[in-house]
Structure 1
């Protein structure tokens, strides 16, 4: 059965239309994919542009909080230096700082009489509390710097172990341990923390 020219023309047109439709559909899908990708990229850029100012604002807040805490600690250190000038309060502080076993005590030169009195008070308290004797020597050759806020540094007999019992070192220790509570009291609970 031979196909007539008209049939062949019709069949060629049908095949052409099918192929043309397939190509159009393929290209249309490619174009749609391209624009979907572009939309996602634009959306991503918008998110990035919105998050940058938020991150900068959050960093500013964190810096301001850190500055406030630093200012508070500096104020506490300033007040510690006032405690040292009040000999009655300072004597009570020194009495509590000097409860170690065998020790060599370093102090500021101007604090020597106060430290000596604190050592004399601490020895009986130590003996009662620990039921042990204590050997205490106050180093009169090596003093702490004059510009610190007082206190003592205590060494064991061979100077291998040092305990810094100065008001500043105590404040630093307390500040480090209490930092989460200080932040919570000043700024409230951190909503982004899960623990």
Structure 2
């Protein structure tokens, strides 16, 4: 039985509806798949950027922590240097005060003459030369001469050798010297410095560990004691 035009149009509409339905379903499927892929890609990108951001801030945090450690180390070093300088200044003040007090020794003739005798005799023993020259303060010449007169026999008896002693009358110790003597060999190339200042420096050097312990206490980081 032949189809009428109406039947043909009806079938065509039915086929077009079916094709349109298939197309719509396909579009929806494609959209759903695209949406899924979009969400997956978006999630991947978000996670990647999150990791990058976390790594960036972790790196920044480490840099800040390192900078903080450097700054703290620098501040500790500065503080340590200030403490050391303050200690050095205190020791310098103590030594300067001691030097000022040295001048009082020469003001006591009995005490000073005994001290000069020991310094002169020690100079003789340190040089062990047949001829020596002594340099002293101008105001001490007579007292030094008396010390020489007393010590020459003692030296001769001790070393069994003669000694000729000259007191330098042209060059004296500096005017601000606290006293004592310098003893030279005959050609002046060897010198024994036995001034009060030099003796103070020697004693201060030898006693510096004890002085520091007395002033600042024992060093907790020091493992061995001399």
Fold agreement, TM-score > 0.5: yes
User: RMSD between aligned alpha carbons?
Assistant: 2.9
**1:149 equivalent in alignment to 2:178:** yes
Residue equivalent to 2:209: 180
Q: Quick check: 142-151 or 12-21, which moved more? A: 12-21
2:109 and 2:99 mapped to 1: Cα distance? 17
How far the C-alpha of 1:163 sits from its partner, in A, is 1.6
1:71 aligned to 93, 102, 121, which one? 93
How far the C-alpha of 1:109 sits from its partner, in A, is 1.5
How far the C-alpha of 1:148 sits from its partner, in A, is 0.8
2:150 aligned to 116, 121, 124, which one? 121
How far the C-alpha of 1:47 sits from its partner, in A, is 3.3
How far the C-alpha of 1:14 sits from its partner, in A, is 8.1
How far the C-alpha of 1:30 sits from its partner, in A, is 2.4
Residue equivalent to 2:10: none
Count of aligned positions: 192
**1:90 equivalent in alignment to 2:112:** yes
Distance 1:33 1:84, change over 3 A: same
TM-score by length of 2: 0.70
How far the C-alpha of 1:104 sits from its partner, in A, is 0.8
Deviation string for 1:55-111 (max 9, x for gaps)?
444333323222221121112111211101111111111111113222211111211
Residue equivalent to 1:33: 55
**1:134 equivalent in alignment to 2:156:** no
Deviation string for 1:162-190 (max 9, x for gaps)?
12110011112222232222112210122
Q: Quick check: 19-28 or 102-111, which moved more? A: 19-28
How far the C-alpha of 1:192 sits from its partner, in A, is 3.8
TM-score by length of 1: 0.80
- 1:145 is paired with a residue whose SS is coil
- 2:169 is paired with a residue whose SS is coil
1:165 aligned to 194, 197, 208, which one? 194
How far the C-alpha of 1:151 sits from its partner, in A, is 0.8
1:104 and 1:166 mapped to 2: Cα distance? 15
- 1:147 is paired with a residue whose SS is coil
Structure 1: stretches of 5+ with no match in the other structure: none
